[in-house]
């Protein structure tokens, strides 16, 4: 099994950072050195490094495209953006905004949607597809449905055949790109936002986009399902650095708790001797239990962010040793209707291909 794909991305200096010293010395497209003012140097190598001049399209092509293609073939995949607030996670995921059409600014999510519908449309009469979209966030260790805010504490269950399931979550059947963007946009508008000194529109939640791609073969009605999960994590900075107090400080601590649970899962997965992987320690790690496929470590290029960048990149360096745990979606040789009935009565007939 392949290792998970881990990449690093440095966003360009933003306006208020103009003229600030930088902390990266490029080696090549996979390695670089992070340097602080005392010339402390840390070498990093990843599957790919996207420097300040990288294009949104490059990131999509390398990191996401193969995983989107896999989802169409019923292989689950997860793409995560990690890094401190202001490092470019949301810009990578959503683009300048979700409706952006300028190719330089268009993010990963709208490209995913384009590719999914392109794949569907190119398969002709051989198969029928259904794509469902859910958008949730984990805020203060509760899963909130961003497509129906009345569902503010979604429970997570593990199904023998389907893997991790969000009970009662809104799943919108999307039939074209425009519809998908409309629902993504309303989900995003419902995210919980708090103000910190680091970024006054910073989101303090982990935002999770789930595309379920169901394919039914015309020939034999065989149904297979692939789940594609994109995760825009909340900022990984230390709680005290946010200058937060009261409720906002509590938020920051909770965020750090779920991110450290993710760190613990990564440590357990890479230690080689762990017989217990602590997926159950947080909502975030439970949702990621199905598949851990790609991680993008987002960093600011500025020297003043050296220590946060170092910790982000160290996190990525550890994750590089994980074997990708993407699992083949469930398959069953019968019509979907029958399958639903069977599923609700018992799931003995389901066959999971590992
Ligand atoms: P995060 O989600 O990690 O907190 P954002 O994605 O909101 O960070 O990025 C912080 C700021 O930097 C935003 O104003 C965003 O538009 C800008 N930015 C981030 N990445 C890039 C990039 N690759 N190119 C241009 N601007 C970017
Ligand atoms: Mg963000």
Looking at the predicted structure, is the pLDDT value of residue 262 above 70? yes
* Ligand (nearest to CA of 193): 2
* Ligand (nearest to CA of 15): 1
65 alpha carbon – ligand 2 mean position (Å): 22
Per-residue pLDDT tens for 172-226?
Answer: 999 999 999 999 999 999 986 654 444 444 467 899 999 999 999 999 999 999 9
pLDDT at 29: 96
Smallest CA separation from ligand 1 atom 5, residue: 88
Per-residue pLDDT tens for 321-339?
Answer: 887 766 666 544 333 333 3
Smallest CA separation from ligand 1 atom 17, residue: 88
Per-residue pLDDT tens for 282-291?
Answer: 999 999 998 8
Looking at the predicted structure, is the pLDDT value of residue 107 above 60? yes
Phi, psi of 215, deg, nearest 5: -120, 125
The whole-angstrom separation of Cα 298 and Cα 67 is 19
Q: What is the ipTM of this complex?
A: 0.99
pLDDT average, residue stretch 116-137: 93
Q: What is the largest CA-CA distance in the chain?
A: 66
pLDDT average, residue stretch 129-142: 94
Per-residue pLDDT tens for 226-253?
Answer: 999 999 999 988 766 666 677 777 777 7
Residues lying with their CB under 5 A of ligand 2, a single-atom ion: 89-90, 203
Q: CB under 8 Å to 78, separation ≥6 — which residues?
A: 67, 228, 229, 230, 231, 288, 290, 291, 292, 293, 294, 326
198 lines ligand 1 (CB under 6 A): no
Structure tokens belonging to residue 104: 């330089």
pLDDT at 351: 31
Record the pTM: 0.89
15 alpha carbon – ligand 1 mean position (Å): 11
pLDDT at 203: 62
11 alpha carbon – ligand 1 mean position (Å): 7
86 lines ligand 1 (CB under 6 A): yes
């Amino acid at each position: 099994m392949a290792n998970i794909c881990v990449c690093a991305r440095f966003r360009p200096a933003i306006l208020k950072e103009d003229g600030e010293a930088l902390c990266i010395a490029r080696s090549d497209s996979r390695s670089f050195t992070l340097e602080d003012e005392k010339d402390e140097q840390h070498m990093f190598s990843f599957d790919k490094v996207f420097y300040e001049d990288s294009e949104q399209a490059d990131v999509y092509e390398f990191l996401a495209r193969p995983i989107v293609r896999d989802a169409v073939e019923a292989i689950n995949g997860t793409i995560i953006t990690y890094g401190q607030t202001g490092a470019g996670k949301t810009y990578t995921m959503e683009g300048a905004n979700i409706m952006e059409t300028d190719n330089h600014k268009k993010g990963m999510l709208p490209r995913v949607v384009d590719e999914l519908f392109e794949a569907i449309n190119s398969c002709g009469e051989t198969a029928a597809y259904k794509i469902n979209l859910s958008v949730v966030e984990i805020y203060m260790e509760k899963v909130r449905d961003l497509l129906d805010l009345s569902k503010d504490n979604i429970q997570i269950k593990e199904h023998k055949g389907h893997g991790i399931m969000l009970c009662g979550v809104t799943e919108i059947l999307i039939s074209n790109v425009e519809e998908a963007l409309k629902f993504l946009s309303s989900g995003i508008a419902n995210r919980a936002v708090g103000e910190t000194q680091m970024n006054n529109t910073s989101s303090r939640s982990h935002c999770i986009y789930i595309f379920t791609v169901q394919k039914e073969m015309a020939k034999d009605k065989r149904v297979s399902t692939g789940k594609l999960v994109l995760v825009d994590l909340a900022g990984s900075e230390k709680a005290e650095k946010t200058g937060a107090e009261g409720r906002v400080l509590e938020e920051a601590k909770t965020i750090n708790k779920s991110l450290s649970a993710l760190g613990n899962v990564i440590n357990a997965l890479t230690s080689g001797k762990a017989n217990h992987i602590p997926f159950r320690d947080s909502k975030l790690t439970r949702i990621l239990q199905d598949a851990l496929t790609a991680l993008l470590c987002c960093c600011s290029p500025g020297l003043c962010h050296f220590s946060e960048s170092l910790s982000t990149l160290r996190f990525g360096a550890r994750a590089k040793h994980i074997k990708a745990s993407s699992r083949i979606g469930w398959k069953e040789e019968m019509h979907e209707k029958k399958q639903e009935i069977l599923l609700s009565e018992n799931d003995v007939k389901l066959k999971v291909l590992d």
